[in-house]
Structure 1
Amino acid sequence: MYQKAYGIIETLAPLHIGASAGEETGNLNLIFRDQFTLTGIIPGSSIRGRFRADMRLEEKAQAKNGNASEQDDQQETQEKLSLVEYWYGKDAKPGKADSTSEGLVKIEYASLLWLPIYCPGQPVVLVTCPALLKRYQKLAGKSIQKIEPYSYYVPRGIKKPERPALFFNLGCLPLKKEEAKLEEYTKEVESIQEYLVFVVKDTEMATIHDMGLYRQSRVALKPDEKTVAGTSFFNVEALPEGSILVFPIALRTSTTDSNPWDKFVNDSQINSSKELYFGGLESVGFGRTNVILKKTT
């Protein structure tokens, strides 16, 4: 009934999706976190909304740039908007019963697969934990492989650490076993192959994650002088550039299309990869990502 796929998000700039500032957080704009590993996530609603809005904008632009008559343009636009409704469902209309419809696309939240962390001597290490690896294995349709904590993999051309440990800001963690199986999890994105990858314990991931977040203080200035406007001061945290996240996709098969994957990829115009913005603060350089969609094996 459902055709399974998954998406990969590589952050090309800091990515902030989360809560607004509040007194209870010390005026800090926090990102959304997974309840178990306490690592950053992108809610499924944010991904779905971005895909839906992008498809609608692309369709409107194509209709506007067409050479057909005005009447044909209007008809074409209506057909293209109904295509968005076909994939994502119809919006509720006030006063009309049963005006909504179920979309064919189901998207869950994106969790981290690899998080870049500064490490003297490397200088960047990509870190993950068994819980995050296991979720990726399941949604990508891969065989479940147990990867022990402190396993690592050094791609070809990368200098192997001279000491049997990695130093982080909060101390050292041992390099116990060079695990060739980790190479399988570095092939999805080319940039991953430029760094040493390292697996830590699930209980350690939250601390290392908070250590690696991008943080910035922001203010709003008065229009006529360089002073803060009232109390317009806040801090923001974001997933750093180079983070890799994964999310599952399910496409419900219809009576007219039993293999919707190729049509969805074509309609979304993500045949190989596509740059998309997620989250807030886009106007000041946040949220730029590269998205890759893949069919589950």
Structure 2
Amino acid sequence: MYKKAYGIIETLAPLHVGASAGEETGNLNLIFRDQFTQTGIIPGSSIRGRFRADMREYNPQKVDFWYGREAGDRDEKKQPISTTEALVKFEYASVVWLPVYCPNQPVVMVSCPLLLKRYHRITGGKDGFNIQPYMHSGVNAQKLFFNLGFINLGEKADSQLTYYKKCAGTFAQKYGFVVVNDADMSLIHDMSLYRQSRVKLKEDEKIVDDKAFFNVEALPEKTILVFPLALRRHYEEQDPNDEKKKIKKDVKWDDYTQDSGWPIAKTNPTSHNHDINAKEFYFGGLESIGFGRTEVNLHNSTEA
């Protein structure tokens, strides 16, 4: 019923998707988290909204066709139009690799079996999933020291981790990769988050304006995330020769990417073979102070 694909997101700046940063006082603006690993996510609604907004700017006449009509839309005669189902579907983006500071590395890309298993399923990996905690690649040490203690590494598994490393890009390839236990991932994730305290000052004095102090957290730069998307195989169109008949037509990824204005396909030897070149998107809040810039690539889920 659906044609499957997936997207890889690489953060180029701290990414905050969660509680908004408005005029709150004494508020800690947390990011959205996965319910099992407690690692940061980008909700599917946020991804869809950004993609839709991009198409609205590039190709506004095609927005309703791909993303469906919204409630309240009206036709040329100002009459209400019924909502329609979107042809393209989005799910949430989860972490694949998270950069974590480690004094003797100095950066290690960390993940856990639960997150890698989701990546394996989304990307259509055909080999049996055999990733175990404390496997590592590119780490020249028997143990790693994080802020809260030591982790003893297990098997060096370059070949097993190759499939999962290739989405990480040129930056991450210079550093080690470590798979930790699912139970440890939440703590290590919180340890690696980018945090910033912000205040509102009084207009005439350099002091905080009546408790206008809050903190914000964000996924760090160079975090890698994955999200699935799907395309309905068919849509119905009115038969020009018969008002009572509709014609079923195929839906193609090429049509969607062309209408979305994605760059021409090109191979990137340092990462996946990209079906679509990278596009830069801003996700989440605090864009005006440098948060949220990412690079997104789309791929066929059958790609190995």
Q: Normalization by structure 2: what TM-score?
A: 0.83
1:55 maps to which residue? 55
Shift of 1:221: 2.2
* Pairing 1:107–2:99 present: no
1:294 maps to which residue? 299
Secondary structure of 1:133 counterpart: helix
Alignment of 1:195-206 (within 5 A): 195-206=175-186
1:173 maps to which residue? 151
CA distance in 1, matches of 2:294, 2:251: 28
Tell me which of 172, 179, 187 is aligned to 1:192. Answer: 172
1:11 maps to which residue? 11
How far does the alpha carbon of each residue in 1:72-105 deviate from its partner, in whole angstroms, 9 at most, with x for none?
xxxxxxxxx3311111000112796661111101
CA distance in 2, matches of 1:269, 1:13: 24
Tell me which of 233, 238, 252 is aligned to 2:218. Answer: 238
2:122 maps to which residue? 139
CA contact (8 A) 2:26 2:211 kept: no
Q: Evaluate the alpha carbon distance shift between residue 21 and residue 13 of structure 1 in structure 2; reply closer, same or farther with a 3 A threshold.
A: closer
CA distance in 2, matches of 1:194, 1:58: 36
1:88 maps to which residue? 67
2:134 maps to which residue? 150
CA distance in 1, matches of 2:53, 2:122: 25
CA contact (8 A) 1:21 1:28 kept: no
CA distance in 2, matches of 1:94, 1:136: 37
Structure number with the higher helix fraction is: 1
CA RMSD of the aligned region, Å? 2.1
Shift of 1:258: 2.6
CA contact (8 A) 2:232 2:251 kept: no
CA contact (8 A) 2:196 2:215 kept: yes
CA distance in 2, matches of 1:296, 1:146: 20
Range with bigger deviation, 128-137 or 169-178: 169-178
Q: Which runs of 5+ in 1 are unaligned?
A: 60-80, 155-159
Q: Normalization by structure 1: what TM-score?
A: 0.85
2:239 maps to which residue? none
Range with bigger deviation, 286-295 or 89-98: 89-98
2:161 maps to which residue? 182
CA distance in 2, matches of 1:115, 1:15: 12
How far does the alpha carbon of each residue in 1:7-30 deviate from its partner, in whole angstroms, 9 at most, with x for none?
0100000000112479xx962100
Shift of 1:224: 3.9
CA contact (8 A) 2:10 2:296 kept: yes
CA contact (8 A) 1:106 1:250 kept: yes
* Pairing 1:265–2:257 present: yes
CA distance in 1, matches of 2:209, 2:86: 44
1:62 maps to which residue? none
CA distance in 2, matches of 1:289, 1:88: 22
Q: Evaluate the alpha carbon distance shift between residue 83 and residue 20 of structure 1 in structure 2; reply closer, same or farther with a 3 A threshold.
A: closer
Amino acid of the structure 2 residue aligned with 1:116: P
CA contact (8 A) 1:8 1:246 kept: yes
Secondary structure of 2:37 counterpart: coil
Shift of 1:122: 0.6
2:268 maps to which residue? none
Q: Which runs of 5+ in 2 are unaligned?
A: 236-247, 263-275
Secondary structure of 1:55 counterpart: helix
How far does the alpha carbon of each residue in 1:131-156 deviate from its partner, in whole angstroms, 9 at most, with x for none?
000000001000241201000011xx
- Kindly, what percent of the aligned residue pairs are identical? 59
Q: Evaluate the alpha carbon distance shift between residue 97 and residue 269 of structure 1 in structure 2; reply closer, same or farther with a 3 A threshold.
A: closer
CA distance in 1, matches of 2:125, 2:170: 19
Tell me which of 96, 99, 118 is aligned to 1:116. Answer: 99
2:29 maps to which residue? 29
Shift of 1:108: 0.3
CA distance in 2, matches of 1:26, 1:93: 37
